[in-house]
Structure 1
Amino acid sequence: MTESSIPPEATDDIRALLTDAGVTHDPDLVARILATGVGLGLDGTDRLDLKITSAALTEMRAAFRLFAPYRGIPKVTVFGSARTRPDDALYRQASAVAAVLAERGWMVVTGAGPGIMQAAAEGAGPHRSLGVSIRLPFEEKPNAVIASTANNVAMKYFFTRKLMLVKESSGFICVPGGFGTLDEMFELLTLQQTGKAEPTPIVLLDAPGGDFWMGFKRYVDEQLIPAGVISPDDLDRVLITDSVDAAAAEITGFWRNYDSLRWVGGRLVLRLRAEPTAEEVAALNARFGHLLSSGEIEHRGPLRVERDDDDRIHLPRLVMRYEQVQVGSLFHLIRAVSALGSAPEPAAPPHPAT
């Protein structure tokens, strides 16, 4: 629904309402949201559908407000079972990896419940933890760590909760769990495989000596790949480990030299933290040239549209005509870029775009 789909006088009234309310930040987008609401009314939308829409927008606003003060701090989301007990090795793993990442300046996002979610919050500490809880008959309140700071937003719907658990984070750690954990992991993999989310590090962390995620890998190797339903390298972008140190290094190392990306027309721009050498660019072309639709990877300054938008123009760039159907392989190029040279450990990745 656009503004042109409703009566002109209603469009004028919407814009007047925004002016009277003092809305000055992106008023055109806010007007589109209101116009969509008017359109739902004109469509004779079912009352239940209207209630879903209203509740979803309300929950999203609350979540956006929760995360807004921490926009400049990198975040990692930890997924895992609510049923894992404190004496379980998986509980200790989740707490330990969260503690390591918190020490390196990261915040930890969880579903705010018990089990692995509480373990990660305990490891990070109350002021390094954010929670996105779900209202369930058997899981109604956030765990004590999250509740102690009120750094939590409660959701009615799983789809709004999952959006916020993914949208704000620059890395993900999945600890063995049940249907919910597997659902969250598969959604992460789907977003990466289809290019609907920018490449992001994903770690499947097991207990020391554990076989949960290696069992999943065997299923992928023995069933999904032979069936032709995924590509042979689809799981290469995921680190499976039982090491807390390796898990933390995978999350932070991904951002060591890589900063962000942007598509400009048919060109892909990778923004870096350190200048690449001519030899490094040549090596990237030799390794990844087959993924380009034409030309080669070039080291150059910002494109005109980036300069016009003042979009991270201080950073060096690699520009290429990347074959968009190969977007699932982009993770490998970024990982190679972050391994270049001697870029310093980043203070924070940029805010992710999903």
Structure 2
Amino acid sequence: MTEDENVRRAGPLTYRGSSIPSTTTDQRLLDRRGPSDWVHTDPWRVLRIQSEFVEGFGLLSELPSAVSVFGSARIKPGTRYYDLGVEVGARLAEAGYATITGGGPGMMEAANKGAQEAGGLSVGLGIELPFEQSLNSHIDMGMTFRYFFVRKTMFVKYSQAFVVLPGGFGTLDELFEAATLVQTKKVTRFPVILVGRDFWGGLEEWVRTSLLENELIKPQDMELVQIVDDPLEVVDIIRKSHLHIAREQEELARSEAGPEQ
């Protein structure tokens, strides 16, 4: 067993060896209990959840314009996808954006590395998992969360765009949650960009043939997510989107102010 496998971090707590709990904090929160067990446990968890929100807001409240980058923890250094992640992080830094990732290895590490080496701010928001996934070494500021839903709030609140690199279930979860938030207008529209047409093209085709053709989404919903190959195009899409949003906000402010006297 490696050192990382023999350690679990849950927020500010660290467990080692036989002291590692058999379940995660999220699992204990969501598991069903007896009819009265919740009286003694769940209300107190609200304070722990509140503390994570406070700590996350405190860490990120002065963050400059930032982009969240998602991708698999299983991609190895030296592969073409890893190199793609490094370039994405670097291009975002050169454009003046901080890079926020899940703080783990693989594509997250790649984006953090690219951002840091290019002189940008590199942020990692980790999560307690049954298999330890410590924050990677290319992070300037970071935090490990107990609760997935608190961590997700931080990604959405402090990002001006989502960039999605090749990944598995966790990456798909972030992708579809972002698309749903934009579709339902729970958040102000922001770019959701998939990088790697060879990887994501099949998903786009499935959405078109299974969802759109069965009228489960509207034609304009196909525009919620864009697919590109070039990291420079990622930056270009984000910049154009922000300029468009800024113009809309200016026009709205003028209309609310009424005609000049």
Same fold (TM over 0.5): yes
**Partners in 2 of 1:251 and 1:197 — Cα distance?**
16
Structure 2 distance, partners of 1:83, 1:74, is 28
Q: Which residue of 2 aligns with 1:271?
A: 249
In structure 1, the partner of 2:204 is 217
Given the alignment of the two structures, is residue 239 of structure 1 paired with residue 226 of structure 2, yes or no? yes
Once the two structures are TM-superposed, the CA of residue 301 in structure 1 deviates from its matched residue by: 2.4
> Residue in 2 aligned with 1:60?
53
Q: Which runs of 5+ in 2 are unaligned?
A: 1-36
Which amino acid letter does the alignment assign opposite residue 102 of structure 1?
Answer: A
Q: Does 1:133 align with 2:123?
A: no
The Cα offsets for residues 17-72 of structure 1, whole Å up to 9 and x where unpaired, read as: xxxxxxxxxxxxxxxxxxxxxxxxxxx962331243122111111101111232xx
Match of 1:82 among 73, 79, 82: 73
Aligned to 2:175: 185
**Quick check: 2:112–2:138 contact (8 Å CA) kept in 1?**
yes
Q: Percent identity?
A: 36
Matched, 1:103 2:65: no
For residues 157-209 of structure 1, give each alpha carbon's deviation from its aligned partner in whole angstroms, at most 9, with x where no partner exists: 11111111111100110011110000000000100110101000111001xxx
* Superposition deviation, residue 299 in structure 1: 8.1
The reply on whether 1:166 has 2:156 as its aligned counterpart is yes
Cα shift at 1:302: 5.2
Cα distance in structure 2, aligned partners of 1:129 and 1:101: 10
Distance 1:187 1:299 in 2: 28
Structure 1 pair 132/300, CA: closer, same or farther in 2 (3 Å)?
closer
Query: Which letter maps to 2:61?
Result: A
Partner amino acid for 1:250?
Answer: I
Tell me the distance in 2 between the aligned counterparts of 1:47 and 1:178. 37
Give 2:106's aligned residue. 115
- Secondary structure of the equivalent of 2:227? strand
Alignment of 1:291-310 (within 5 A): 301=254, 303-304=256-257
> Once superposed, which parts of structure 1, at least 4 consecutive aligned residues long, lie more than 3 Å away?
none
CA distance in 2, matches of 1:219, 1:198: 26
The residue aligned with 1:154 is 144
Q: Distance in 1 between matches of 2:40 and 2:67?
A: 37
Question: Whole-Å Cα distance in 2 between the matches of residues 48 and 225 of structure 1?
Answer: 44
Residue aligned with 2:217, SS: coil
| CA deviation after TM superposition for structure 1 residue 300, in Å | 7.5
Deviations 1:63-88 (A, max 9, x none): 01111232xx1100001111111122
Instruction: Describe the superposition over 1:141-165 as per-residue Cα deviations: whole angstroms up to 9, x where unpaired.
Output: 200112xx3x111111111111111
Q: Deviations over 1:244-290 (max 9, x none)?
A: 11111111221124327xxxxxxxxx324xxxxxxxxxxxxxxxxxx
TM-score when normalising by structure 2 = 0.78
Q: Which has the higher contact order (CA 8 A, sep 6+)?
A: 2
SS at match of 2:213: helix
Aligned partner of residue 227 in structure 1, secondary structure: coil
For residue 139 of structure 1, report the CA deviation from its aligned partner: 2.9
Which amino acid is 1:245 matched to?
A: L
Instruction: Give how far 1:105 is off.
Output: 1.0
